[in-house]
Chains A and B, each alone.
Chain A
Amino acid sequence: MVIGKIVKSNSHTDYVCQVYGPGEVGQPPAREDYAFGTFVRVPLNKGYWLVGIVYDTQLVNPDFGRLGPRLSPQSELAVFSPDYLNEKATLVGIAAVGTTGGSGQSQGVPALASSADTLVERMTEEQVRSFHEGSPAPRVAYAPLLLAQGSPLALYLLRRVVERLLALFPSYASMLSVLQDNLVWQSQIAPIGDTR
């Protein structure tokens, strides 16, 4: 499922994707397709994909703050100002966390960068599972990378990731629970005060 396209980047691992709105594609994505913590992939070279996670959402609305009256009523905008309708958009931030394709997957800072207008598609359960498979246990080697970005939502993002992995790898629940417990403690209890 394609959810949109890359429109800019803030860094080598931080991309902005504009989500397709009504009328842009035959079947625009539902809110669940670009929810916080959704795994997406962006094609690089043939057969290689950049893997990212939706970590932020921003709504763009040029009409916000315009206090004066508009000559065209809302119902006639499509006739008199069709561009204006398209200026409203939903942007999602995507943190690049690795690559997949070819002989396997790699977690961490990807060597290659994506380019503008590249399509972004939501990864399937199987693709997410495959990206996290390690030997012998699953891996979340990009966790320090997400935390290093300094986003206030990073801990919550990782919690979502681990919850997802718990569902995908139930036989490694005890190991993943150690990580999950740490994240819950760090996000829920530690910010309140000195816990030592």
Chain B
Amino acid sequence: MNERRPIGLTKGPSETPHEFTLVSPDLGQVLKVGEFVTYPAYVDGQERMILASVTHRRPLRLYPDDFLRDPTVSPDDVAALLGYDQKACDLFEVTANVIGYYDEDMGDFANPRLPPRTGLPIHLATDEMLAGVLTKKRLGEVGSAHIGSLLLRERDRVPIVLNLQAITSTHLAIIANTGAGKSYLAAVLLEEMMKPYNRAAVLVVDPHGEYDTLVEMVEHESFATSDYRPEVRIFRPGEVKIRASALTPDDLCYLLPELSERMEYLLRRAYRDVRQQGWDERGNAERWTRADLQSHLQRLGKGSKEEREEGGRYASTADALLWRLRSVLERSVIFDDAKHLDLDELFRPGRCSVLQLNDVDEREQQVMVATLLRRLLHARTLTVKERVKKGNELYLPYPVFVLIEEAHRFAPAAGQAVSTGVLKQVQAEGRKFGVVTGLVSQRPGKLDPDVLSQCGTQFILRIVNPTDQDRVAESVETVGRELLKELPALTKGQVIVAGEAVNTPVLCRVRTRHTRHGAETRDAPAEWMQYFSPPER
């Protein structure tokens, strides 16, 4: 792989100024799409090794179709019959995209803006060179995240070590088909964040309850040092409450099904009144209970004396609204009159909190995430601006990372989810205040395009659906079109990483998790068979 013989010769510039073509027999079959090649060039009087990535490969010699007529006869034999007895006839025209030379001072690639001249020998980039330039971080450094190795090289020869500082300042997205390994990759990232050299404050929004195996990090030797051992807290459905008074009128309208305009008017009026009452009686507009809201609604339903004589102007509306309120707020396991998201409990450096939301209604999940993000951003804003002090429930003196599984539920492209706006706000303002989101989705086509495009680092695994592919191509500008063509061909555990965390888009093979994977697919046929097997004694 690393022999220093040239792999081909440049043919000339391609269609765009930063592309060139080379011709190679490629006897070792190594010039695959995504592979890296180099050539020397003088830039400002100094010899630099220019890195380029292969984007296209076209065979220059193909046997005539007629040679392929008989499946039992090799076209090589037919060619030999006609006197062509060369050992290898293959010749390829390979298009490469100039990435540039690595500028140590800038810590990034600089483009020479000049394609190589015709006939220049092109070499395969060495493992050592790639390990030094593809990413900014090295293994084990503070702020590094070792997620795997370069796909086109031998396993672990070129480690892909992401820049966690870049990820935690620009948000990330993990998108893939079901079964392509997105939860696995997300868990690898979480493991890296919880390593002794990162010790992050992390929350996982887990609608399927598949991240509970992360607790194994606590006892795993890879995470422990003399002064550190990660904490993992699993919050089962109902263990984390939202105080009903923290809900906005929009949240309430969203939670209650099929509200008429009249009902919505009445609800907003009651909400306003109950806040006013909280302020008047307790000095805090957010100090009211579900019972307060209901009694206000009842009062509004009865109306004034004149209205009562007319049978109550809002009587039927208030009754319908009360029925809806009770059926949603009283029955739900996530709303409470007193308990509220304890940020200090959820977020702490070196702690990974997993908020399991299975068994929770989808709209309630959205309200939960919206409320959480709203409160989180508020707390961090106040803390950074030094408007709250230690001891205040909104004092949160460290950046936090929130990984949201099934992100398309919380920011759908179609329809209005109450969490979409908050998520957009967090993405726009969160980086200033250290609130970073990681979105995981299997349907990028159903994910709000603005939300997806705000993610500065992208992890794209196998995607087959054309709509999803188009959405990725629209929203992810850093990955070239040619590399995106690889999406349907990726297999499990293979990922394209692009954006701020790497110096150039790379194809990566995800490393093995330290903890067990919790999202295993059920073996239904085996379970059916078990039904008929004799019971154990």
CB <8 Å contact, A178 and B66: yes
Interface string of B33-64 (1 = CB under 8 A from A): 00000000000000000000000000000001
Q: Give the interface of A toward B (CB within 8 A).
A: 107-108, 134, 137-144, 174-179, 181-182, 185
A102 to B77, CA, bound (A): 27
**Chain B residues near A178 (CB, 8 Å)?**
66-67, 69-70, 73, 78
CB <8 Å contact, B83 and A174: no
CB <8 Å contact, A177 and B70: yes
| B529 in the interface (beta carbon within 8 A) | no
| B81 in the interface (beta carbon within 8 A) | yes
**Chain B residues near A174 (CB, 8 Å)?**
70, 72-73
A142 to B81, CA, bound (A): 10
A134 to B78, CA, bound (A): 13
In the assembled complex, how far is the CB of residue A173 from the closest CB belonging to chain B, in whole angstroms? Answer: 10
A181 to B77, CA, bound (A): 15
**Chain B residues near A175 (CB, 8 Å)?**
73, 77-78, 81
| B1 in the interface (beta carbon within 8 A) | no
**Chain B residues near A177 (CB, 8 Å)?**
70
A181 to B73, CA, bound (A): 13
In the assembled complex, how far is the CB of residue B504 from the closest CB belonging to chain A, in whole angstroms? Answer: 42
Q: Which 9 A-B pairs have the closest CB atoms?
A: A141-B83, A182-B66, A178-B70, A175-B73, A178-B78, A178-B69, A174-B73, A178-B73, A175-B77
**Chain B residues near A107 (CB, 8 Å)?**
83
Of all chain A residues, the one with the shortest Cβ separation from B68 is A178
A177 to B83, CA, bound (A): 16
Of all chain A residues, the one with the shortest Cβ separation from B75 is A178
**Chain A residues near B69 (CB, 8 Å)?**
178, 181-182
In the assembled complex, how far is the CB of residue A95 from the closest CB belonging to chain B, in whole angstroms? Answer: 16
A175 to B70, CA, bound (A): 8
CB <8 Å contact, A137 and B77: yes
**What are 8 A-to-B residue pairs whose CB atoms are below 8 Å?**
A139-B81, A140-B82, A144-B83, A178-B67, A178-B70, A179-B81, A179-B82, A181-B66
A182 to B66, CA, bound (A): 6
Of all chain A residues, the one with the shortest Cβ separation from B66 is A182
**Chain B residues near A137 (CB, 8 Å)?**
77, 80-81
Contact flag A185-B81 (CB < 8 Å), given A174-B72, A178-B73: no
A175 to B68, CA, bound (A): 11
**Chain B residues near A142 (CB, 8 Å)?**
83
Of all chain A residues, the one with the shortest Cβ separation from B69 is A178
Greatest chain B CB density within 10 A among A137, A175, A181 is at A175
**Chain A residues near B66 (CB, 8 Å)?**
178, 181-182, 185
In the assembled complex, how far is the CB of residue A131 from the closest CB belonging to chain B, in whole angstroms? Answer: 13
A20 to B223, CA, bound (A): 99
A178 to B63, CA, bound (A): 13
In the assembled complex, how far is the CB of residue B79 from the closest CB belonging to chain A, in whole angstroms? Answer: 10
**Chain A residues near B78 (CB, 8 Å)?**
175, 178-179
Given B64, B67, B73, B80, which contacts A139 in the complex, CB threshold below 8 Å?
B80
A78 to B72, CA, bound (A): 63
A159 to B69, CA, bound (A): 17
A182 to B474, CA, bound (A): 47
Of all chain B residues, the one with the shortest Cβ separation from A196 is B65
Greatest chain A CB density within 10 A among B67, B72, B83 is at B83
In the assembled complex, how far is the CB of residue A128 from the closest CB belonging to chain B, in whole angstroms? Answer: 16
A176 to B77, CA, bound (A): 10
**Chain B residues near A134 (CB, 8 Å)?**
80-81
Interface string of B209-225 (1 = CB under 8 A from A): 00000000000000000
In the assembled complex, how far is the CB of residue B78 from the closest CB belonging to chain A, in whole angstroms? Answer: 5
Known: A175-B73, A179-B78. 4 other contacts (CB 8 A): A138-B81, A144-B82, A174-B70, A182-B69
CB <8 Å contact, B81 and A176: yes
Of all chain B residues, the one with the shortest Cβ separation from A186 is B66
**Chain B residues near A182 (CB, 8 Å)?**
64, 66-67, 69
A107 to B82, CA, bound (A): 10
Greatest chain B CB density within 10 A among A137, A177, A178 is at A178
In the assembled complex, how far is the CB of residue A71 from the closest CB belonging to chain B, in whole angstroms? Answer: 58
A177 to B69, CA, bound (A): 10
A134 to B84, CA, bound (A): 12
Of all chain A residues, the one with the shortest Cβ separation from B78 is A178
A32 to B77, CA, bound (A): 33
In the assembled complex, how far is the CB of residue B63 from the closest CB belonging to chain A, in whole angstroms? Answer: 11
In the assembled complex, how far is the CB of residue B188 from the closest CB belonging to chain A, in whole angstroms? Answer: 50
**Chain A residues near B80 (CB, 8 Å)?**
134, 137, 139
**Chain A residues near B72 (CB, 8 Å)?**
174
A93 to B9, CA, bound (A): 46
CB <8 Å contact, B83 and A108: yes
Of all chain A residues, the one with the shortest Cβ separation from B72 is A174
In the assembled complex, how far is the CB of residue B87 from the closest CB belonging to chain A, in whole angstroms? Answer: 14
A6 to B233, CA, bound (A): 100
**Chain A residues near B73 (CB, 8 Å)?**
174-175, 178
**Chain B residues near A143 (CB, 8 Å)?**
82-83
Of all chain A residues, the one with the shortest Cβ separation from B83 is A141
In the assembled complex, how far is the CB of residue A190 from the closest CB belonging to chain B, in whole angstroms? Answer: 10
A179 to B69, CA, bound (A): 9
- B73-126 residues with Cβ-Cβ distance < 8 A to A are 73, 77-78, 80-83
Of all chain A residues, the one with the shortest Cβ separation from B67 is A178
- B444-478 residues with Cβ-Cβ distance < 8 A to A are none
**Chain A residues near B81 (CB, 8 Å)?**
134, 137-140, 175-176, 179
In the assembled complex, how far is the CB of residue A60 from the closest CB belonging to chain B, in whole angstroms? Answer: 36
A137 to B82, CA, bound (A): 10
CB <8 Å contact, B83 and A139: yes
A182 to B73, CA, bound (A): 14
A175 to B69, CA, bound (A): 10
In the assembled complex, how far is the CB of residue A181 from the closest CB belonging to chain B, in whole angstroms? Answer: 6
In the assembled complex, how far is the CB of residue B94 from the closest CB belonging to chain A, in whole angstroms? Answer: 28
CB <8 Å contact, B67 and A140: no
**Chain B residues near A139 (CB, 8 Å)?**
80-83
Of all chain B residues, the one with the shortest Cβ separation from A185 is B66
- B177-217 residues with Cβ-Cβ distance < 8 A to A are none
CB <8 Å contact, A141 and B82: yes
A179 to B78, CA, bound (A): 7
Of all chain A residues, the one with the shortest Cβ separation from B74 is A175
- B301-356 residues with Cβ-Cβ distance < 8 A to A are none
**Chain A residues near B64 (CB, 8 Å)?**
182
A56 to B78, CA, bound (A): 27
A189 to B69, CA, bound (A): 16
In the assembled complex, how far is the CB of residue B86 from the closest CB belonging to chain A, in whole angstroms? Answer: 13
**Chain B residues near A179 (CB, 8 Å)?**
78, 81-82
In the assembled complex, how far is the CB of residue B73 from the closest CB belonging to chain A, in whole angstroms? Answer: 5
A107 to B80, CA, bound (A): 13
